[in-house]
Structure formats: structure tokens, C-alpha cells
Amino acid sequence: MPYDKLTGKERILDPACGSGVFLVGAFRRLLNKWRSDNYWQRPDAKTLKELLQKSIYGIEIDRNAI
């Protein structure tokens, strides 16, 4: 996910997310993209929730990996 190619409309799916470390990193990148597009202001809780719900998806079937 190179910063210069992010549009802010990405959808990230991790089909074996385990504890979600990859998804956390992806969310941070999307959050930085949002902040750069919004004059580096801090997003409120509603904005964070919307960004997370529309962009980050994870699935894990192995209960031991969670």
C-alpha cells in the first residue's frame, strides 16, 4: 500500500487475519491518507468508525490464531 497510490477508497480484506496485525497497519495507512486530505486534523470517533467499517475486513476460522 504505497502512500502515493492511495485514494482513500481502498477496501482491505485479510482472509486469515489472526490477531489483525496486518489490518491495524493498513488502517493506520488509510488514516494517514484521510488526515493528509483533511489538513492533518484529528478525526473524531464517528469518522474513525466510518473509515474502519467501510475499509477494513478480516476473517479468521482458526480460533487458536485469534
pLDDT, tens digit (0-9, with 9 covering 90-100), for 8-55: 899 999 999 999 999 999 999 999 999 999 999 999 999 999 999 999
Cα three-residue angle 57-52-45, rounded to 5 degrees: 155
pLDDT band at 3 (very low <50, low <70, confident <90, very high): confident
Burial (0-12, 13-18, 19+ Cβ within 10 Å), 22: middle
